[in-house]
Structures are given as structure tokens and as C-alpha cells.
Amino acid sequence: MPIEWNGDSREFHLRNDRISYVGRVLENRWLGHLYFGPALAGGRTYAHLVPGDFYGFSNRLGEPIPLECPISGSGDYRPPALVVEGADGSTILDLGYRSHRLIPGKPSLPGLPSTYVEFGGEAESLEIVLADSIVGLEVRLLYTIYRDRPVVVRSVALANTGQGPLIVRCAMSASLDLPDAAWQLITLSGEWARERHVERRDLRPGRQSVSSLRGISGPQHNPFVALARASTTEDAGEAVGAALVYSGNFLAEAEVEPFGTARLRMGINPEGFAWLLEPGATFHAPEAVLAWSSEGLDGLSEAYHSLFRERLARGSWRDRPRPILLNSWEATYFDFDEARLAAIAESARDLGMEMFVLDDGWFGHRDDDTTSLGDWQVDRRKLPGGLEALARSVESMGLRFGLWIEPEMVSRRSNLFGEHPDWAVGVPARPRTESRNQYVLDMARPEVVDYLFETLSAVLGSAPISYVKWDMNRAVTEAHSATLPAWRQGEFFQRYVLGLYSLYERLTKAFPGILFESCASGGGRFDPGMLAYAPQAWTSDDTDAVERLAIQWGTSLAYPPSSMAAHVSAVPNHQVGRITPLATRAAVAFFGVLGYELDPTKLSESERAEVADQVAFYKRWRELLQFGRFHRLCGPFDGDGNETAWMTVASDRRAAIVGHYEVLSRPNPGPRRIRLRGLDPGTLYRVSVWPDAADMAGAGPARQAIGGDELMNAGLVIGSARRDAPAGDFRARLFVLEAD
Ligand code: DGJ
């Protein structure tokens, strides 16, 4: 099996055919790190990989000895993985190896989302217990390796085995010491409407990090980072990934120290964090997923895509084709009644769509965003027959019905806030900062979570609801919980996230047939933690086709197409005012979970015909587009970013679809060839072009089947625009490859 423990050399070796992760109990019983990378032979020892003759501090643990669970204060001045304060205020620890055990499969983490196994032999776990007897602390490091995946999943639990309370000030889920620092740090960074843009910079001496202190993972930075060599491309070279299965304040940090090694650590953001650990209590940190690729960023992405899709996402919708929906938000905003919604739904149905989603505005007196969050009773002025009448009428049209909610919020103008002002996060006697006219409910309070569970269960049980879009439209300010004692306020953010997870857990269990989609002002909480409850997320409020190339490209570094909700919206686009062709908007949205976010009754006849064609095309290729193996070919962060191409390949490699996009039309560009990936070299593929078959002109011998070897090595010829009829800006084409 994949984990070896060598009692003589005191080494452990997590290995499969693709990767190895090796560590060792050092002479002083601290846990050293030896190696993470491509698979090494089993049955050997590797202690010599780390020079043992470093003369630093008397405990021989000065920099740069690589460690699995570094602490500070004893000669290692790099950023620590653990800071735990004892009764005397000291944070010095001496964490010696105490025991270990091998665990078949993978244990779950109490109250936290985690990756899992479905059948025996799929993975094996190793728990190593380190302890400091003076402080009375037991540190349980958990490592899991899957048989067939290039990932190691790590987490840590801290148990107070002493007599007095401890304060956990920092508990990183993973700390990884790398023997050199010749890496570039890749992060997914941005803001509302431009989430997860790829940033790539050289590691330099000192610390470089991304983080959140907003209570959500946030659109500013994602809890996923990668290290890649300067020469690493999409399809070649080394890359290491780290992703945190968590939805709150996080830190991902790399430090390059003076000897030229690098330490990467990832976990709950220690800033402002302090967890009181009473005697006998245990604190569980979320898990981090480390991945290794020797096949470029493409290989790294595939490791995360398949793990997140197959062993992090859960529930009845995990593997099922996701419905094509019409979302009412940009069609009506707050201005609708039953008749208008019914007309939109009927029109969507006529175009072949499968679900109608009623977004914000259906409850309380919510005619704008100044009121009613928390009052989850249907607004009978707009919907006299309630949700049930609307949902039944939508169902009678042959569509499913979906609903928007924003559970974690309360409007200042709402009955809920009037009744329970202390349920809103804030410091008594200080004003609360409003954002979008709303406050955040204190999810750290179990009674708030109970109330939301009861109230939302009543809503979801009141009508045939197949889908829920769970929104969250502001970050936390004045972080403080009215019921936590002063000395526990440092636990607030973590308790908020645990409350959120428990609400998700209870609702998804109570309504197992509902497809949940997470959302936070667009893609503000698009993280691995959310994927455990909601297998798809609203990728961004920005649905402009050009903007979406960058957003979906960046998102795809870690997240699979089946997790990315992608909608076609009206033009001029509501976020950037750009006018792009309808076909281009669809050709981008196809590489995710397709929806429409417009009023179909306002489309012209020709646009309706086009949308009907798009929906039919997507249905024909849905499984491939949602669950295929995704490859990025060239994109918005390369060169001048004018050209993007990506593709998805069926698991049996008998079909593939390539998307090719040109932002601005360039004069006389000449023919282009793009080398494809992931095909079967021995298969002949017939190539057709969508939406316009005539576009194949100039793309080589039309209709001739082309070998996978040729497509991957010589490339797919992308026909150039005709000089006498230039295609214009924002052009997209799909190339559909089918085995001959
Ligand atoms: C933000 C979301 O991202 C939008 O799609 C929409 O649901 C609005 N909130 C509704 O208030």
C-alpha cells in the first residue's frame, strides 16, 4: 500500500506511481521533511537527502533544516506552522515524535469539509502524533495519499492534554519546505467582477503571501497557490500546488530564507486568530491539498479538477449533468410579478432551457437592496400565489424551479433585525459598517444557525425547488460576537465559518435532491470548502465574454468546468458595457455550467433561433463540456492576451471540443496553428466548426479526418479571417473533434 513506515530509519514514505512524500523523525525526535516530488522507489531510505551536518544552533534545528511542523523560538526563524501559548505566556514548544498509525482510507474532519474516499484501497492515511509534555499539547498530523492521484492531503489537530488552558495563535494546515527557491509564485487574484486573474512573480528573499481577513475567502485572493519554475508552461515543467479546503480567512505564504530554500505554508490566517483550548479539548484545522506536477500547470490543474469533482464535491448532483438554467437577475432585477416571470420561464422553455431560477427580490418588501434580508417570507404583492404557485406553474411548463437566498445576511430595514439586533455581527456601543445596506448575521451563534435552518427549511419545503443559489454579498466588518466572552473573540471568524458549514451541512442533508450553487457577489467565495456542499459556484457577476476568458482561465487553474457556472447575458454587457456577438458569449459560457441571464422575451427572432441552437449544441455535448478533461492552450495572460484557446477531451478520447477566441480583429493575420492536447495519437478525428461550418474554409483540407498525432504535434489549423470579409472583433469558434 502507498504508505511505508521504516522503524529503523524512522522514515515515512507516502508514495504512489506518480509522487512521493518523505519525512523522518530526527535525532531529537522532531519531525523532519525529506522530499516531495516525482515518485521515488519504495523500500529505500532517504535521510541523506538532507545534510545532517548543518552547524547552527545547539539543537541543530536552525535554518534551513526542513521540518514538517515547524515552530518558532528555538532557532528556526522561518514562519512557523504552529504557535501555541501556554499558561505562562510562552510559545516555546518542543514537539517530539510520540506515535504514529496507518489508517485505511481517509478520516473526515469534524465540522469541516474534506476530501474523502468511496472504496477501500483508494487512499491510505498516516497520523503522526507529536507532543510537548511541558505545555501539555498533542499535535496530530494527518497525511493522506490517494492511490492514483498526485496529491497529498494534510491537516492538523491540536489536543490539550495538560491541566491548564492553551491559546492556539497559529495552526497552519500544511507547511512545506522546498530545497530551493527557484520558483515563481502563481496566485489567483482580483476583485469583484474580475476574480481569479493569474498573477505570476518570482520568489524573492523574504516573505510573499496572499490572504484574506474578510471572513470569506474573497475575490481578492483565492485559497489556491502554485509554485512553478520560470520555464514551466502549460504542458511541461514542474509545479507544486497548495489549496485550502476552507472558506474564511486564510493565509498562503512563501518565504525564501538566506540559504536559498523556500517554505510554503497555508492555513487559517493567524492575524487576529486566537483559539482558547481548554484541557481535554481538540482544535481541528482545515485540510490543505498539496499537488505535484511534472507535466506543467495542465497536470497540476487536472490533479485538482478530478479530486475536487470526484472526491470533494458530494451529493446527488456530483456526477449528474447540470441543467441549463435561465436566471432572472439581469432580466428583471427587483422588478417583477408572477406574470412577467411566467412569460420569461415559458420563453426560456421554448428555447430548450431546463430550469428557471428566481433570483433576488421575492421576499419581504424587497423592491431594491435596502431592505428585507432575513425576512424569508414570500412577497405576496409580487407573487400572490406564493412560491408554490410559481414553482408549480414553472414545473407545468416542463422546467425545474430554482431559488436565490442569502442566508447569512440581515438588512437594517427588516423585521429580523428589529427583533434580534444583537444577531448582527458587531461591537456593542459601536456603529456597524453597512455594505449594500446590510449586516452580517452572527453565524458563530448556534441559535442563529438553528433559526436559519428552520426558516429556510420552511421555504425550501414550501414548493418544488430543485436548485438553490446561496449568495453572500458583503464581507465581515467589526468582527465580534455578542455571546462570546472577551477572551474568546479571537475565535469569531473560525466559529463563523463552522456555523456556516453546519448550516450548509444540515440543509444539504435535509434537501438531498436540491442542486446548490454558491455565490458571493459573483465569485467572492469560490473556494474548495464551498465545493463540498455546492458542487458549482457562480463564477463572477461579470458575464462579458472577453472578461470571462480571463476569469474562467484563472479559475480553471484549480477548479473544474463542472464547478463554474457561466451565463450568457444581454448586450451591452451590464458590467462593462461591451457589445460582443451572441455566439461568442455562448462559446465562452459553454466551457462551464451553462445558463442564460437575460430576458428571452426581448430577443429578436433571429437571436431566439441562435439561442435555441446554442442550447441544443450544449445539450448534445454537455457531459463533455462539464466533465471532460480541460486543457488551456493559449490565453489571456500570455503575450498581448488577444488570443485564447482551450479544449475539453472526453475520458475515452473519442471526442473533444476546442474553443478559440480572438478579442480584437487583427489585419491580415495569416493562418494559425494550435497544438492540441490530450487526444489519442492513433485516432483519426473529423473536425467540424461551430457556429458556422463555412468557417472551416482556409482551415486545411476541409472535412478530412485528421490524426490525433497530427493535431497534437503539428496542430489544428485555425483558418484566418478572409481579407475581403473580416470577421470583426470578439470572434469565437468551436472546433468539434469526433473520432472517425
Ligand atoms: C450578487 C450575485 O452575484 C448576483 O448574481 C445576484 O444574485 C445579486 N447578488 C442579487 O442581489
Is any ligand 1 atom within 6 A of the Cβ of residue 159?
Answer: no
Sequence-distant (6+) residues with CB within 8 A of 381 are 365
**Which residues are CB-contacts of 127 (< 8 A; sequence separation ≥ 6)?**
100, 101, 103, 140, 141, 142, 143
- Known catalytic residue: 541? yes
Q: What percent of the chain has pLDDT over 70?
A: 96
Mean pLDDT of the chain, nearest integer:
96
The predicted pLDDT at position 506 comes to 98
- Is the pLDDT at 62 greater than 90? The verdict is no
Say what angle helices 582-589 and 605-627 make with each other, to 10 degrees.
20
pLDDT at 722 over 70: no
Q: How far is CA 390 from the centre of its chain?
A: 33
Indicate which residue's Cα is closest to atom 9 of ligand 1: 521
Distances (CA, A) of 673 to 59, 521, 646, 710: 59, 38, 13, 11
Ligand 1 atom 10: residue of nearest CA: 360
Burial class (CB within 10 angstroms; exposed 0-12, middle 13-18, buried 19+) of 38:
middle
Reported as a single tens digit per residue, the pLDDT across 209-237 is 999 999 999 999 999 999 999 999 999 99
CA of 521 to the centre of ligand 1 (A): 6
* pLDDT score, position 297: 98
Nearest Cα neighbor of 447 from 436, 455, 439 is 455
Give whole-number Cα distances, 684 to 469, 631, 650, 681, 737, in Å. Answer: 42, 20, 15, 8, 9
**Residue of 76, 132, 298, 541 with catalytic role:** 541
Q: Compute the average pLDDT of residues 542-552.
A: 98
Is there an atom of ligand 1 within 6 Å of 542 CB?
Answer: no
Q: Write out pLDDT tens, residues 401-448.
A: 999 999 999 999 999 999 999 999 999 999 999 999 999 999 999 999
**What percent of the chain is predicted at pLDDT more than 90?**
92
What single letter denotes the amino acid at residue 489?
Answer: Q
Cα(638)–Cα(513) distance, integer angstroms: 42
Please give the Cα distance from 124 to 106 (Å, whole number).
6
Check pLDDT > 60 for residue 517.
yes
pLDDT (tens digit per residue) in 634-653: 999 999 999 999 999 999 99
Q: What is the pLDDT of residues 155-176, one digit of tens each?
A: 999 999 999 999 999 999 999 9
Residue 644 β-bridge partners: 661
| 55 grid coordinates | 552547524
Nearest CA residue ID for atom 2, ligand 1: 521
Residue with cell 499537488: 291
Q: Which amino acid is at 537?
A: A
The pLDDT value given to residue 617: 98
Using the predicted structure, report yes or no on whether residue 719 has a pLDDT greater than 80: no
Please indicate whether residue 491, judged by its CB atom, sits closer than 6 Å to ligand 1: no
Q: In the predicted model, what is the mean pLDDT of residues 12-39?
A: 96
Q: Residue 721: pLDDT above 90?
A: no
Please tell me the distance between residue 402's alpha carbon and the centre of ligand 1 in angstroms: 14
**Lowest mean pLDDT segment, chosen from 190-204, 242-256, 657-671:** 657-671
In the chain, the N- to C-terminal Cα span, in Å, equals 41
Contact 390, 463 (CB under 8 A): yes
Q: Compute the average pLDDT of residues 39-53.
A: 89
Q: 263 or 62: whose pLDDT is higher? A: 263
Distance CA 361, CA 571 (A): 23
Tell me the three cell numbers of residue 44: 529505500
Q: Which of 177, 471, 542, 544 is catalytic?
A: 471
- Whole-angstrom Cα distance, residue 588 to residue 576? 16
Q: Give distance in angstroms: CA of 329 to centre of ligand 1.
A: 7
Examine the residue annotation and report whether 638 is marked as an active-site residue of this protein: no
Predicted confidence band at 1 (pLDDT cuts at 50, 70, 90)?
Answer: low
| Ligand 1 center–CA 362 separation, angstroms | 13
- 120 or 411: which leads in pLDDT: 411
How much is the pLDDT for 693?
A: 65
State the closest ligand 1 atom to the C-alpha of 404, by its place in the atom list counted from 1. 7
Q: Does the CB atom of residue 473 touch ligand 1 within 6 A?
A: yes
The finding on whether 255 has its CB within 6 A of some atom of ligand 1 is no
DSSP secondary-structure letter at 369? T
Question: Residue 297: which residues within 8 A CB-CB, separation 6 or more?
Answer: 186, 226, 228, 232, 233, 234, 239, 557, 632
| Residue 671 reports pLDDT greater than 90 | no
CA 360 – ligand 1 centroid, Å: 7
Strand-by-strand arrangement of the 629-634 sheet: 629-634, 643-649, 655-662, 731-739, 684-690, 706-707
Neighbour count for residue 696 (Cβ, 10 Å):
18
Distance, CA of 373 to CA of 471 (rounded, Å): 11
- pLDDT, tens digit (0-9, with 9 covering 90-100), for 266-315: 999 999 999 999 999 999 999 999 999 999 999 999 999 999 999 999 99
